[in-house]
Amino acid sequence: MTEAQHTTILIPGWMNDHTAERLDKTYRVLRIDSADAALLPAREVAKIRGIASAGRIDSRFIDALPALEIIAHYGVGYDAVDSRHAAARGVVVTNTPDVLTEEVADTALGLLINTVRELPKAEAFVRAGKWVGDDEYPPSRLTLRERKVGIFGLGRIGLAVARRVEAFGLPVSYHNRSRVEGVSYAYHASLLELAEAVDTLISVAPGTPATDKAVNREVLAALGSDGVFINIGRGSTVDEEALIAALVDGTIAAAGLDVFASEPDVPQALLDLPNVCVLPHLGAASVHTRRAMGNLVADNLDQWFRVGAAKTPVPECVAVAGRG
């Protein structure tokens, strides 16, 4: 048996099947239903050196594992992991950037088109047998033509979205904490200022205390009555009550949402609205991309236990020293 096969990796809750199978071939894998310290077998606690997880890992769970060295998170957003506490404990946290960038950007544009041109409704019209005789699906009230697009969060995914928006012949503006070097897009120092300058807002922002409910009543009102809001980032960045009210009273025209504040619970008020397109957080959900994400989870663990350095540590953990 190799040294790696003596190394215990914990999978709390769901994990991509390909990832779990790969880890099973290399490590001694322990699985529990969720990241709840009460579920940890007492005889195993001191043996767990790594976690592969797609869900919440809080400070109490981290502290329950005295031998923990690495948390390999499945996903680019890692707000579910207390990375600052992990770093303070000397535990490195990794995520899966880059490998899902293009897939999520594709989804963002698909969601935008579906929201504006009502393609899912038009398909349902045909499937229901309504396209008969002289009946036709009514022309969409909204169009992408002559729209001005603002991107909230011009990171890797935001830049990929911007490239696609440009290909549609639409101008792009953005808001970030600071300017992004090397881009020609118009920068706005506040989200409200961005919303005032555009009529289509695409949120790719991460879920952080600074972005919590950043898309609020004032921002939505600034988009105007033809405004469209698309969220492919995190549900926590939006004041959902304000969004529902804006959609009901015509403050904005429509919204397309792949993420929600309390997933998988979607407010019934959103589902009841005819001017909302909803998806089940599937931005990166293709077999191809999820396999690549899973491989990066395993690669981070492999490299850590082989040379003491992770491939893609999150910013809070870049200074965590390894064994190498």
Catalytic residue among 263, 288, 306, 323: 263
Q: Is the separation of the CB atoms in 82 and 58 below 8 Å? A: yes
In 3D space, the residue among 99, 98, 69 whose CA is nearest the CA of residue 317 turns out to be 69
Helix (H, G, I), strand (E, B) or coil at 34: coil
Catalytic residue among 73, 234, 290, 316: 234
- 291 assigned to active site: no
Q: Is the separation of the CB atoms in 62 and 40 below 8 Å? A: no
- Distance, C-alpha 280 to centroid of its chain: 11
In 3D space, the residue among 269, 279, 219 whose CA is nearest the CA of residue 241 turns out to be 269
Q: Is the separation of the CB atoms in 301 and 52 below 8 Å? A: yes
- 281 assigned to active site: yes
- The single-letter code of the amino acid at 256 is G
**H-assigned helices in the chain:** 17-26, 59-63, 83-88, 101-117, 119-127, 156-167, 191-197, 217-223, 240-248, 268-271, 287-307
Concatenating the DSSP letter of every residue in 64-92 gives: T-TT--EEEESSS--TTB-HHHHHHTT-E
Catalytic residue among 18, 89, 281, 291: 281
Residues serving a catalytic function are 234, 263, 281
